């Protein structure tokens, strides 16, 4: 099978204006992915499906990922005047990456029996801009899985034939797989030595008298 | 000796003479406990063990419980076999309400008792006893078929001890006792209400 | 619709079918979540024209027990028992798929004996899953009890094997990252050989009982036809895909485990109808018996777990991995994203029976409502996996 660089070059040549980035994956699995731009996503998906050497006709897995706002620390070389002399100094800077939601598609080829090729799309933000083009017209198998992402992550897929909640009930308002979802506090937290569980247990029993201090048993 | 009771010595003596003496209460309970028809209704993993219990190896027919009815109108026993999700809970309460009195509930497996391993899930009800009364709890994940048979025999013993008359008579004979319970509604974040206080009174948690 | 008096003249005309009399008057029926043949708490909103299905919308979520979120809150190993409860007929296959994905994520090798044990247990799982499925399917068709009892008799024998090895009948929690949890002794292997050797006899009996039956043929042939193009586009996998004639089996394509070492064939269907799907299971069981015979003959003593694999404080390097196996119901995949912590940042299950339901409406349109149950039965769903 072709390398991702080759696929990227050919796809960008075939679709004018398309922009594809390669997201590296440094782990032992070494499954890097293609980050495709939202505007041309359906065209790129069609290209991947119909291109005779790729023929990625089988979209196996579609899923969402929630990335919260992150702060990464980097050291960059900055030119500075130190003691009257211009020098290159390593200076730590904090870069704030705004959060976004991601839809990940794993593609295989049943015709050529190769794969996986991973493609991903990112939303603008986690609020109003959580919209992506639907790839259900290209691969029918995304139909239920995109509905599931809409239900659990709250990404709206434009062009999806039937975008409704699938797992939770229709009246439900939250998106429970998001990392910042707070679930209803409707049961007793057993006191255990796990710190975060203990913290939640304390929160649950907050109105109790102070002398009944909660201790791990 | 209470009402409806027979002197055991007299009964044995009469039986020797070929006369079988019984009381209405004994006959009623005997018939009822040996023909419990469960509702054919499985939720999750435990349902497979329930089917295994009904299959040839464990053979629940030995206890008169093999007639699984698909309609709640014909069933006496609801085996809540598996995880009760919040989306499913209103349906279960509705099915319970549709069953004719007297009706019994076995809460099979850790999930139906308390949420079990899935207790921390946002869509998992933390025990079916929040909405309907439960007669027998049987722990396990899933309980073995033998354990379900044990629960079944416990229920039979419970039925055998029912009184037909008096102040402590069986609940289904008391017109004051409710036989239907309110069905929870789907809310914006959770079921409303999250538990029925008439049914669910958890004991105060004692901590050291 | 108005009541008509049947005159003699009218009775001599060709019989008026139910569907033609009710034309134009659509009836909406909610089948499930409590229904004897929905294989759990599955619900379909069916729009009927007489007896004919005009629209079918599946409703999910009645067993949505938040497997994925719990998987993101527990350690990697802590999710292993939860995978048992995905497809609760096939806990061993689920264990394998998860272990395989984590091994990909962390780059762990598996010793030879463990791979053999995995193949043996996965194929035993396939045997008992397919046997039970055929029993349930026949139950849905009206053969109430008997085929299911035969299937469960065989299933109990295999569950006994699982219990003596893993300690539990259904929830085996047997595999570990880099191997298996306990070793199988010679007695166990001898017992497994005995059951495998006797299995074809059961298959002969079972196939004779059900597959040549006139009613089975009448109810399944040409019912619920699926075309190969639609199947590929809709991501159908497993026996359902191969019933359409598409030769795609992850055991052959990926060659995971030691499957390339065994000689076995992939049965393929021709028509893609319910009968082919049913036959696919029967034929696959025969091939599984072949694999089991070879594996049980080839297995050698040795280590069952990679000593380099860490059990405690297991933290895979940052990265992501998608691993998949051919589970009895189709392609079962796990997609994991590690941020270097003790629990996965993203834990996703690719449930085969959920995705196989994508085409349920296409299969049922134009058939009678009684056929819906047969078609659904032939898809082979387990709600624990569909809703997770």
How large is the ipTM? 0.85
Tens digit of each residue's pLDDT (9 = 90 or more) over C143-166: 877 888 889 989 999 999 999 998
> If pLDDT is split at 50, 70 and 90, which confidence band does C1 have?
very low
The Cα–Cα gap between A192 and A195 comes to 8
End-to-end CA, chain B: 45
Q: Give the Cα separation of C33 and C27 in Å (integer).
A: 18
Amino acid B195: pLDDT: 86
Q: Grade residue B93 by pLDDT with cuts at 50, 70 and 90.
A: very high
> CA of A113: which chain C residue's CA is closest?
C253
Collapse the DSSP code of A62 into the 3-class scheme (helix H, G, I; strand E, B; otherwise coil) and give the result: strand
Instruction: Work out the pLDDT band at C11, boundaries 50, 70, 90.
Output: very low
Q: Structural domains in chain C? A: 56-387 (1.10.645.10)
Contact B118 C81 (CB under 8 A): no
Measure B84 CA to nearest chain A CA, in Å. Answer: 14
Looking at CA atoms only, how far is residue A168 from chain B in angstroms?
7
Give the nearest partner residue to C384 out of B44, B49, B52, using CB atoms: B44
Q: Which of C68, C335, C354 sits opposite A144 (nearest CB)?
A: C354
Residue recorded with tokens 């395989």: C100
Mean of the per-residue pLDDT values of chain A: 83
- How many angstroms separate the Cα of B44 from the Cα of each of B108, C67, C352? 11, 13, 17
Q: How far, CA to CA in Å, does C290 sit from each of C125, C287, C294? A: 14, 5, 6
Percent of chain A with pLDDT over 70: 89
Within an 8 Å CB–CB cutoff, is residue B206 touching chain A? no
Q: Is the pLDDT of residue B156 over 90?
A: yes
B3 vs A48, higher pLDDT: A48
Q: Do C65 and B83 lie within an 8 Å CB cutoff?
A: yes
| B142: preceding bond cis by omega (within 30 degrees) | yes
CA distance C319 to chain A (A): 5
CA dist., res. C223 & res. C29, Å (int): 21
Judge whether A159 and A133 are in contact, CB under 8 Å.
yes
Contacts of B47 in chain C (CB under 8 A): 40
Closest residue to A177, CB basis, from C68, C105, C345:
C68
The string of pLDDT tens digits covering residues A54-103 is 888 999 999 999 988 888 777 777 777 777 777 777 777 788 888 889 99
Interface of A with B in 135-174 (CB under 8 A): 167-174
Q: Rounded to an integer, what distance in angstroms lies between the CA atom of residue C333 and that of residue A107? A: 12
Going by C-alpha positions, the residue among C330, C333, C313, C382 that lies closest to residue C68 is C333
DSSP letter for C247, please: -
Whole-structure pTM value: 0.88
Give me the pLDDT at residue C7, please: 40
Whole-number pLDDT of residue A150? 92
Query: Which of C34, C35, C73 is facing B120, going by the closest CB pair?
Result: C73
> C: neighbours with 3+ CB pairs under 8 Å?
A, B
Taking the CA of residue C295 and the nearest CA in chain A, the distance in Å comes to: 26
Neighboring chain A residues of B207 at a CB cutoff of 8 Å: 191, 212, 214-215, 217
Q: Residues C349, C333: contact at Cβ < 8 Å? A: yes
Residue entry with tokens 């497997």: C67
Distance from CA of B132 to the nearest CA of A (A): 17
Selected residue of C38, C43, C60, C63 to mutate for chain B interface (largest B Cβ count, 10 A): C63
Residue A128 near chain B (CB below 8 Å) = no
C88 contacts B44? CB cut-off 8 A: yes
- Chain A residue with the nearest C-alpha to that of B127: A187
Peptide bond into C33 cis (omega under 30): yes
Residue of B nearest to A188 (CA): B205
Find the helix packing angle between C186-210 and C146-166, rounded to 10°. Answer: 170
Count residue pairs from B and C with Cβ separation < 8 A. 92
| pLDDT score, position C213 | 84
Q: Which residues in chain A touch residue C107, judged by CB atoms under 8 angstroms apart?
A: 27-29
Residue of B44, B56, B111 with shortest CB distance to C149: B56
pLDDT at B194 over 90: no
- Tokens for A194? 């796990």
What's the number of CA atoms in the CB half-sphere (13 Å) around residue C126?
A: 30
- Are the Cβ atoms of C235 and A141 closer than 8 angstroms? yes
pLDDT band at A189 (very low <50, low <70, confident <90, very high): low
Say how far apart CA B113 and CA B80 lie, in whole Å.
9
Which candidate, B71, B149, B58, B144, places its Cα nearest to that of B106?
A: B149
C90 to chain B, minimum CA–CA distance in Å?
11
Residues in chain C within 8 Å Cβ distance of B48: 88-89, 170
C5: confidence class by pLDDT, cuts 50, 70, 90: very low
| Model pLDDT, residue C23 | 56
Q: How many CB atoms are closer than 10 A to CB C65?
A: 30
Residues of chain A in contact with residue C235, where contact means CB-CB under 8 angstroms, are 58-60, 139-142
Q: How far apart (Å, rounded) are the C-alpha atoms in residues C84 and C322? A: 19
Q: In this complex, which of A168, A184, A215 lies closest to B208 when CB atoms are compared?
A: A215
For residue B100, pLDDT beyond 60: yes
If you measure CA to CA, which chain C residue comes closest to A143?
C358
What pLDDT band is residue C24 in, cutting at 50, 70 and 90? low
- Contact list in C for residue B61 (CB cut-off 8 A) is none
CA distance C243 to C280: 6
Interface test with C, best of B85, B97, B143, B191 (most C CBs within 10 A): B85
Distant-in-sequence contacts of B94-100, Cβ < 8 A, 24+ apart:
B94/B183, B95/B39, B95/B41, B95/C34, B96/B72, B96/B132, B96/B180, B96/B181, B97/B179, B97/B180, B97/B181, B97/B183, B98/B72, B98/B73, B99/B39, B99/B72, B99/B73, B99/B75, B100/B73
For tokens 């639609």, the residue is C230
pLDDT at A211 over 80: no
Answer whether B189 touches A (CB < 8 Å): yes
Under an 8 A CB cutoff, do C322 and A106 touch? yes
Q: Could you give the domains of chain A? A: 4-67+99-192 (3.30.460.80)
Cβ contact B202–A188 (<8 Å): yes
> Residue A176 is nearest to which of C69, C317, C331, comparing CB atoms?
C69
Chain C nearest CA to A113, separation (Å): 6
Using CB atoms, list chains with 3+ pairs below 8 Å to chain B.
A, C
Residue A129: predicted pLDDT: 82
The tens digit of pLDDT for each residue in A25-40 reads: 888 888 888 898 888 8
pLDDT digits (tens, 9 = 90+) for C64-83: 998 999 898 888 988 999 99
Long-range contact set of residues A42-47: C-beta below 8 Å, sequence gap at least 24? A42/A133, A42/A135, A42/A137, A42/A138, A42/A159, A43/A15, A43/A18, A44/A11, A44/A15, A44/A18, A44/A20, A44/A119, A45/A105, A45/A119, A45/A135, A45/A138, A45/A139, A46/A138, A47/A11, A47/A14, A47/A15
Q: What is the bridge-based pairing of β-strands C43-49 and A20-23?
A: unpaired
Q: Rounded to an integer, what distance in angstroms lies between the CA atom of residue C16 and that of residue C10?
A: 9
What is the crossing angle of helices C369-379 and C112-141, to 10°? 170
Contacts by C166-172, CB closer than 8 A, 24 or more apart: C169/B49, C169/B144, C170/B45, C170/B48, C170/B49, C170/B142, C170/C84, C170/C88, C170/C91, C171/B45, C171/B141, C171/B142, C171/C81, C171/C84, C171/C85, C171/C88, C171/C91, C172/C84, C172/C91, C172/C92, C172/C95, C172/C121
């Amino acid at each position: 099978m072709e390398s991702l660089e080759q696929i990227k070059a050919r796809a960008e040549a075939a679709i004018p204006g398309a922009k594809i980035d390669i997201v590296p994956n440094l782990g032992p699995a070494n499954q890097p992915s293609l980050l495709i731009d939202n505007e041309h996503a359906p065209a790129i998906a069609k290209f991947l499906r119909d291109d005779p050497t790729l023929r990625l006709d089988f979209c196996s897995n579609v899923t969402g990922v929630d990335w919260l706002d992150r702060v990464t620390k980097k050291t960059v070389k900055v030119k500075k005047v130190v003691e009257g002399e211009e020098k290159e100094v390593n200076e730590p800077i904090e870069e704030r990456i705004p959060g976004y939601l991601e839809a990940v598609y794993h593609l295989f080829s049943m015709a050529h029996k190769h794969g996986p090729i991973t493609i991903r799309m990112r939303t603008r933000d986690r609020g109003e801009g959580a919209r992506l083009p639907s790839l259900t017209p290209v691969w029918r198998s995304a139909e239920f899985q995109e509905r599931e992402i809409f239900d659990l992550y709250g990404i709206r897929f434009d062009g999806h034939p039937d975008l409704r909640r699938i797992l939770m009930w229709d009246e439900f308002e939250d998106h429970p797989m998001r990392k910042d979802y707070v679930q209803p506090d409707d049961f007793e937290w057993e006191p255990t030595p796990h710190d975060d569980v203990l913290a939640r247990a304390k929160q649950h029993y907050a109105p109790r008298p102070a002398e009944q201090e909660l201790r791990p048993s | 000796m209470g009402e409806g009771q027979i002197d055991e010595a007299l009964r044995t003596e009469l039986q020797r003479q070929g006369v079988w003496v019984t009381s209405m209460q004994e006959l009623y309970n005997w018939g009822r406990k040996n023909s419990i028809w469960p509702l054919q209704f499985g939720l999750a993993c435990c349902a497979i063990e329930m089917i295994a219990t009904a299959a040839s190896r464990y053979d629940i027919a030995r206890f008169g419980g093999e007639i699984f009815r698909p309609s709640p109108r014909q069933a006496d026993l609801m085996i809540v076999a598996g995880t009760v999700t919040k989306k499913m809970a209103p349906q279960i309460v509705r099915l319970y309400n549709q069953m004719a009195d007297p009706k019994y509930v076995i809460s099979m497996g850790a999930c139906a008792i308390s949420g079990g391993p899935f207790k921390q899930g946002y869509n998992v009800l933390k025990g079916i006893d929040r909405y309907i009364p439960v007669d027998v709890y049987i722990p396990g994940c899933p309980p073995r078929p033998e354990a379900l048979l044990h629960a079944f025999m416990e229920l039979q013993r419970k039925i055998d001890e029912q009184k037909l008359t008096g102040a402590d008579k069986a609940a289904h004979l008391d017109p004051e006792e409710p036989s239907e319970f309110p069905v929870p509604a789907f809310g914006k974040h959770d079921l409303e209400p999250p538990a029925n206080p008439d049914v669910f009174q958890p004991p105060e948690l004692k901590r050291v | 619709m108005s009541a008509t008096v049947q005159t003699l003249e009218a009775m001599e005309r060709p019989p008026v079918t139910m569907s033609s009399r009710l034309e134009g008057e659509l009836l909406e029926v909610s089948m499930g979540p409590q229904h004897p043949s929905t294989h759990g708490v599955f619900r379909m909103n069916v729009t009927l024209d007489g007896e004919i299905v005009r629209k079918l919308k599946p409703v999910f979520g009645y067993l949505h027990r938040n497997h994925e979120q719990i998987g993101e809150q527990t350690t990697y190993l802590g999710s292993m028992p939860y995978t048992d409860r995905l497809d609760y007929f096939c806990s061993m296959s689920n264990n394998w798929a998860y272990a395989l994905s984590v091994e990909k994520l962390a780059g762990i090798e598996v010793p030879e004996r463990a791979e053999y044990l995995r193949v043996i247990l996965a194929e035993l799982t396939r045997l008992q899953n397919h046997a039970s499925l055929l029993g349930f399917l026949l139950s849905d068709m009206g053969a109430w009890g008997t085929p299911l009892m035969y299937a469960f008799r065989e299933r109990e024998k295999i569950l006994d094997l699982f219990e003596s090895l893993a300690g539990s009948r259904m929830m085996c929690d047997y595999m570990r990252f880099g191997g298996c949890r306990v070793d199988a002794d010679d007695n166990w292997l001898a017992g497994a050989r005995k059951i495998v050797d006797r299995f074809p006899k059961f298959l002969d009996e079972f196939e004779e009982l059900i597959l040549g039956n006139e009613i089975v043929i009448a109810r399944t042939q040409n019912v619920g036809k699926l075309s190969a193009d639609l199947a590929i586009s809709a991501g159908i996998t497993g026996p359902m895909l191969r019933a359409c004639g598409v030769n795609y089996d992850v055991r052959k394509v990926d060659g995971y485990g030691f499957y390339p070492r065994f000689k076995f064939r992939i049965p393929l269907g021709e028509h893609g109808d319910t009968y082919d799907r049913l036959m696919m299971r029967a034929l696959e069981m025969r091939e599984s018996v072949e694999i089991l015979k070879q594996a049980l003959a080839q297995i050698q003593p040795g280590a069952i777990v990679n000593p380099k694999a860490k059990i405690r404080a297991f933290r895979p390097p940052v990265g992501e991995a998608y691993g998949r196996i051919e589970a009895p119901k189709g392609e079962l995949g796990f997609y994991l994203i590690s941020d270097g912590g003790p629990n996965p940042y993203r834990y996703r299950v690719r449930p085969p029976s959920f995705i196989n339901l994508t085409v349920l409406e296409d299969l049922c349109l134009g058939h009678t409502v009684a056929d819906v149950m047969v078609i659904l039965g032939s898809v082979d769903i387990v709600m624990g996996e569909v809703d997770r």
